[in-house]
Amino acid sequence: MYFHSMAKLLSKLLPVFVCTFFFMLQSSAQNKEPYVRIAKIVVDSLQLENYKAALKEGIETAIRTEPGVLRMYAMYDKENPTHITVFETYANKEAYQSHIQTAHFKKYKTRTLNMVKSLELIDVVPIAFESKQQ
């Protein structure tokens, strides 16, 4: 009788355990996946050099001081130098959330507020990340 009761109880609880296990696995995997974002920025042409200096300083500081900031690449369009694209890769979304709370990020945002004419932020999902050691 005891065995039968336990088997019945386990058969009812098994789906709960399985769902919980897969949810935990998925949550864990999501926290380990990199968070990648593209920023498309249009800068006031009269402020371009000041903007580039502020951006460079912000990126260098983030890479140097934040372990969760994995890579940041900033470039401008050859045909339209005021059109800047920044590729950002963070260890996970939490690292990004931490990054936007730092003093150097807030300094960058304040310093460049009147320089930026438009900003588009695009969350992307990487297909492949490959690079050569240099």
Q: What is the pLDDT of residues 107-126, one digit of tens each?
A: 999 999 999 999 999 999 98
Q: What is the pLDDT of residues 59-74, one digit of tens each?
A: 999 999 999 999 999 9
The length of the chain, given as a count of residues? 134
Q: Supply the pLDDT for residue 12.
A: 56
Q: Supply the pLDDT for residue 20.
A: 44
Exposure of 132 by Cβ count < 10 A (0-12 exposed, 13-18 middle, 19+ buried)?
A: exposed
Q: How far apart are CA 77 and CA 103, in angstroms?
A: 29
Break the chain into its structural domains and give their ranges. 32-124
Q: Are 82 and 42 in contact (CB under 8 A)?
A: yes
pTM exceeds 0.85, yes or no: no
Q: Are 63 and 87 in contact (CB under 8 A)?
A: no
Architecture of the domain whose range is 32-124: 2-Layer Sandwich (3.30)
